[in-house]
Each structure stands twice: as structure tokens, then as C-alpha cells.
Amino acid sequence: MVKGLNIPDEFQYTFKRLINLVPYKQRNDRHTQKIVLLYLKLGGEKLARQYVEVLKSDLRENKDRTETSEKSNHEGQRFSDPNFPEDEDEDSEDEDSEDED
């Protein structure tokens, strides 16, 4: 899980516990691990835990933003199937043929 990162013995248990709280995709990220350890050394568990909470909230916001964006993209699109003519095209053809009569 944490290879090559020099974690002092006094922080081993707390660091592992905090890393397990980090969102899965970021757990093995070396930069994230270094930041958690840095905050743990400088401000203790409380500061490191705040950083983990920020990571979680950023992930939630990005997920919400992506879902909202995808939803708005799909709402604006019309379903078109080449096998089924659209209603508007049929109506306009009917109107054209009526005008000719």
C-alpha cells in the first residue's frame, strides 16, 4: 500500500487508519499519501482528518457536477432513429402535398 514512504513509528497506526478513509482511487496516490503524512506530522490527526474530508467532498462535488452535466446534455437531445421518421418531417410533407392540390 505505502511503499517507499518513510512513516515514523509513532504515526504508523494513525496514518494507516487515515489512508483507509481516503477515497479508493486516491489511496495509492503517492502525493496524497505524502500530504496526509505531512498534515499528520504538522497538525496531528485532526488536521490530517480535515484534509481527508476535503478530498471526500471534492470527489462528491466532482461526481455531482459530472452527473448534472450528463443529465443536462441528455435532456437537450432528441431521440432520432433512421427507421422512424420524425413527426415534424411527416407534418411538413403533408402540408406540402396539400398545397399542391
69 pLDDT band (50/70/90 cuts)? confident
- Comparing 79 with 14, which gets the higher pLDDT? 14
Residues 11-42 pLDDT 10s: 999 999 999 999 998 999 999 999 999 999 99
Distance, CA of 4 to chain centre: 28
Count other C-beta atoms under 10 Å from residue 33's C-beta: 22
Q: Per-domain residue ranges for the chain?
A: 11-63
Distance, CA of 16 to chain centre: 24
pLDDT at residue 100, rounded to an integer:
55
